[in-house]
Amino acid sequence: MPVRMELSRILIRENVDAHVVELREVDGDRVFPIVIGLNEAAAINRRLMGEEPPRPQTHELLANIITELGWKIDHIIISDLHDHTFFARLVLKKNGDSKDIDSRPSDAIALGIATNVPIFVAEHVLEEVCKED
């Protein structure tokens, strides 16, 4: 069963290429840190600060395309972990149909934050990450 998460904090480091997003379990105490790139970190941070870019950035563009095609992002899920690599899915809905789209977790989280949709982490992924702490 997937676990509902919320954005807890974002750590953007000036001189390093790797930045960290921390998700926290909505109905629990577990945290899920994930390393992301600068573009995704900046997109998430802009959204949190309430800054609207003058022109659509990549994640806004993707959200606009999905909407223009008549689909709605229902939720995102970080669905798997293999060899220290996380995998995510965008779950789209339209007129009772559902599409499950492969995504990098950093893009999925940025898109989820940009469109204000629920973020989930698969239980087995969360258990594995919490075990490593």
The model's pTM is 0.89
CA pair distance 85, 121, nearest whole angstrom: 14
Contact criterion met (CB below 8 Å) for 59 and 37: no
Q: What is the mean pLDDT of the chain?
A: 91
- pLDDT at site 133: 56
pLDDT at 22: 93
Strands of 72-82's sheet in order across: 31-36, 19-25, 3-11, 119-121, 72-82, 85-94, 97-103
Per residue in 83-122, pLDDT (tens digit) is 989 999 999 999 999 999 999 999 999 899 888 999 999 9
Please tell me the total count of domains within the chain: 1
Whether 16 shows a pLDDT value over 90: the answer reads no
The pLDDT value given to residue 94? 97
Q: pLDDT confidence of 43, banded at 50, 70, 90? A: confident
Gap between the Cα atoms of 102 and 57, Å rounded: 20
Return the pLDDT at 78: 97
Confidence of residue 131 (pLDDT cuts 50, 70, 90): confident
* Torsion region of 24: left, alpha or beta (phi above 0 gives left; psi -120 to 50 gives alpha): beta
Q: How far apart are CA 93 and CA 95, in angstroms?
A: 7
Domain limits for position 68: 3-132
**Counting beta carbons within 10 angstroms of the beta carbon of residue 30, is it exposed (0 to 12), middle (13 to 18) or buried (19 or more)?**
middle
> What CATH number does residue 78 fall under?
3.10.690.10
